[in-house]
Amino acid sequence: MKNYFLKVSCRDCGSESTIYSRATTTISCDVCSATLTKPSGGKAELIGCTVVETLE
Ligand SMILES: [Zn+2]
């Protein structure tokens, strides 16, 4: 399985964060504390954010 980083944008405030595709912890927005991703089946499931860019 390929690992990569994602640049994501918070749906609530638009703040951009970089997350790991296989993050194993819940990641919250630094600005508004919305939940951005949670771990699911060994990869990060996007909850409150949209992907801006995939970083190889
Ligand atoms: Zn936010």
Instruction: Please report the DSSP string for 7-42 in residue order.
Output: EEEETTT--EEEEETT--S-EE-TTT--EEEEEETT
Query: Ligand 1 center to residue 29 CA distance, Å?
Result: 5
Query: Ligand 1 center to residue 56 CA distance, Å?
Result: 24
Q: Using 50, 70 and 90 to split pLDDT, how confident is the model at 1? A: low
Q: Is the pLDDT of residue 2 over 90?
A: no
Residue 31: Cβ within 10 Å count:
13
Residues with Cβ–ion distance below 5 A, ligand 1: 10, 12-13, 15, 29, 31-32, 34
Please give the angle made by the CA atoms of 26, 47 and 35, to the nearest 5 degrees: 45
pLDDT tens column, 4-54: 999 999 999 999 999 999 999 999 999 999 999 999 998 999 999 999 999
Global pTM value: 0.86
- pLDDT at position 56 is 83
Domain range for 39: 5-55
CATH number at 10 reads 2.20.25.100
- pLDDT at position 18 is 96
Number of domains in the chain: 1
